[in-house]
Structure 1
Amino acid sequence: MLISTLLAVAPRAVDWSPSVGAVMIICNILAIAFAKYTMKNPSAPPEMPSSNMFGGFGLPAVIGATCFGHVLGAGAILGLSNIGVL
């Protein structure tokens, strides 16, 4: 009884598609842009190998911004799939 109730409540996982990938890419771009204007010290060491390709970000800023982008992307994908857009 309890297992069937838990299975009924669990959300369905979204299958990957190009639109899911596009939502994740857009969320990562937004997170990097947000980080560019709000981080106190985005060029903290250690530096990236080609820092001009990464907008002058150091390794901690790149990791932090992309982690934030993935959190935003996961929420956006789950939300959009829940309302039926994806």
Structure 2
Amino acid sequence: MSKLKKTPEFKTESEERAFWETHDSSDYLDWSQAKPASFPKLKPSTKTISLRLPETLLDRIKIEANKRDMPYQSLIKAWLADDVDESRRA
């Protein structure tokens, strides 16, 4: 195997991101030595938003969530994720 290049020092995360977008990591890392990693407690970042809904719509969503034995906000998130995924496939 050829000699690996030294990974440069980066001042910022955006500088590092720009570097890796234009460079092949196999010039800097021996991927044959890589080991699988597991991050079981890693959770995606969330952001709180305010969403105005007609009361009747919210009531209907809560009824549907209750039928499925899940929190109504979780049901809304699931529906939104499904719809976005479906739109990407279209």
Q: Give me the TM-score of the superposition, normalised by structure 2.
A: 0.28
Which structure has more relative contact order (CA 8 Å, sep 6+)? It is 1
More helix by share: 1
Q: Give me the TM-score of the superposition, normalised by structure 1.
A: 0.29
Higher-Rg structure is 2
